[in-house]
């Protein structure tokens, strides 16, 4: 376990929950309304507002895009009300992980945030990342992106003491995963295809109740760093490799200071030292219940917050009365 950070004060653990709650409640008003952009914009604005009430000197290292692409919470944006004087913190965020899910009222939409000391989170460009993740309790090095999907499944099955066809793999339901799905089907694996939300998909490998053993496939690199921060807190293993579709994306990575474009990143390459991960459910999912509005006007939320140095996981149920008349 990493040493506790003097910068990440214990008070910040619950402050992070307030931030994700704020974003989730704002996004929840647009569940099932068919407007992805409006739902995302509401979550972004609410998260930024909450971050700017905190006493730290924060820098967004993973956000809504580059400065010219995003109106707020762009990469490099300073947040917090103690710029230059407060603790210096790097922030990875996804105010609405699962915009399409929210627009369609599907499961597993989340408001997500991870923080670490300055330099603790991989400054990943907004490109695809090939990912593989497994939950805690396996020997180190059990998964390897250099190996085939079949070899990774066989290794996990052997360590678990079961046949490969008893392994359940979570994969994003995308046309680009056709070959991966075919390979896993040939092994007889169970495959949970998810429509969106690969942060929740990776974290699902750590929860025995989901039945998911492995996460495989490509998704956003920023989401990979967020998921890595969560795995640092609860245990598990993960690897990621950036994928580039064209020269523009390679150039973007080089601007980010990434020189080895073929590097395979380990869990601690993506999130090192002490870190805090927080998430609030927007819609009901495997990890968290979604935002609910009761008849009496009270809004209820369910969140989880974790810290790497202590390994503590807190589940927080909130009842929000201040939002009653909004």
Asked if 99 and 209 sit in the same domain, the reply is no
Q: Which helix H or strand E contains 168, and what residues bound it? A: strand 168-172
The verdict on 296 and 279 lying in the same domain is yes
Whether 66 and 157 map to the same domain: the answer is: no
Q: Is residue 56 part of a domain?
A: yes
Phi, psi of 212 (to 5 degrees): -85, 125
Domain end, chosen from 233, 250, 270, is at 270
Q: Is residue 189 part of a domain?
A: yes
Question: Tens of pLDDT along the chain (326 residues)?
Answer: 787 777 777 678 889 999 999 999 999 999 999 999 999 999 999 999 999 999 999 999 999 877 777 778 998 999 999 888 888 999 999 999 999 999 999 999 999 999 999 999 998 888 999 999 999 999 999 999 999 999 999 999 999 999 999 999 999 999 999 999 999 999 999 999 998 888 999 999 999 989 999 999 999 999 999 999 999 999 999 999 999 999 999 998 898 889 899 999 999 999 999 999 999 999 999 889 999 999 999 999 999 999 999 999 999 999 998 654 44
Same domain, 180 and 243: yes
- Residue 178 sits in which domain range? 128-270
Neighbours of 189 (CB within 10 A): 23
CATH number at residue 213: 3.40.190.90
Residues 6+ apart with CB under 8 A from 248: none
Q: How far is CA 181 from CA 54, 150, 168, 169, 191, in A?
A: 44, 11, 12, 10, 8
Do residue 69 and residue 83 come from a single domain?
Answer: yes
Domain assignment present for 34: yes
Do 137 and 251 lie in a common domain?
yes
Give the CATH number for residue 285: 3.30.540.10
Fill in the DSSP letter of residue 108: -
CA-based diameter of the chain, in Å? 57
Would you say residue 167 lies in a domain? yes
Q: Does 297 lie in the same domain as 264?
A: no
Question: Are both 146 and 93 inside the same structural domain?
Answer: no
Closest CA to 226 of 278, 265, 174, 273: 278
Do 257 and 289 lie in one domain? The reply is no
- 147 lies in some domain: yes
Query: Locate tokens 């066809």: which residue?
Result: 165
Position 324 scores a pLDDT of 47
Q: Is residue 247 part of a domain?
A: yes
pLDDT score for 96: 95
Q: What is the pLDDT of residue 325?
A: 40
pLDDT of residue 124: 87
Asked if 58 contacts 51 with a C-beta cutoff of 8 angstroms, the reply is yes
Q: How many domains does the chain have?
A: 2
Q: Hey, what are 156's tokens?
A: 């996990």
């Amino acid at each position: 376990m990493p040493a506790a950070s003097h910068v990440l004060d214990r008070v910040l653990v619950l402050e992070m929950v307030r931030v994700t709650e704020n974003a989730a409640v704002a996004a929840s008003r647009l569940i099932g309304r068919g407007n992805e952009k409006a739902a995302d914009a509401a979550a972004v604005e609410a998260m930024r507002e909450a971050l700017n009430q905190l006493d730290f000197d924060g820098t967004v290292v993973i956000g809504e895009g580059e400065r010219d692409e995003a109106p707020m919470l762009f990469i490099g944006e300073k947040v917090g009300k103690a710029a230059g004087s407060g603790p210096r913190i790097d922030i990875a965020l996804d105010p609405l992980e699962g915009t399409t899910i929210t627009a369609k009222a599907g499961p597993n939409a989340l408001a997500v945030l991870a923080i670490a000391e300055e330099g603790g989170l991989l400054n990943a460009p907004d490109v695809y990342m090939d990912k593989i993740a497994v939950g805690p309790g396996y020997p180190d090095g059990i998964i390897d992106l250099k190996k085939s999907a079949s070899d990774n499944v066989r290794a996990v099955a052997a360590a678990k003491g079961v046949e490969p066809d008893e392994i359940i793999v979570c994969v994003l339901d995308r046309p680009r995963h056709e070959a991966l799905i075919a390979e896993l089907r040939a092994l007889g694996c169970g495959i949970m295809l998810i429509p969106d939300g690969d942060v929740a998909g990776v974290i699902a490998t750590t929860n025995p109740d989901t039945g998911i053993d492995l996460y495989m496939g490509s998704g956003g690199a920023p989401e990979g760093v967020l998921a890595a921060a969560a795995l640092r807190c609860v245990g598990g293993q993960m690897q990621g490799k950036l994928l580039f579709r064209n020269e523009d994306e390679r150039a973007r990575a080089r601007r980010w200071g990434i020189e080895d474009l073929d590097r395979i990143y380990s869990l601690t390459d993506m999130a090192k030292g002490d870190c805090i991960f927080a998430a609030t459910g927007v819609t009901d999912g495997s990890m968290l219940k979604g935002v609910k509005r009761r008849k009496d006007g009270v809004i209820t939320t369910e969140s989880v917050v974790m810290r790497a140095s202590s390994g503590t996981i807190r589940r927080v149920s909130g009842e929000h009365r201040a939002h009653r008349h909004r």
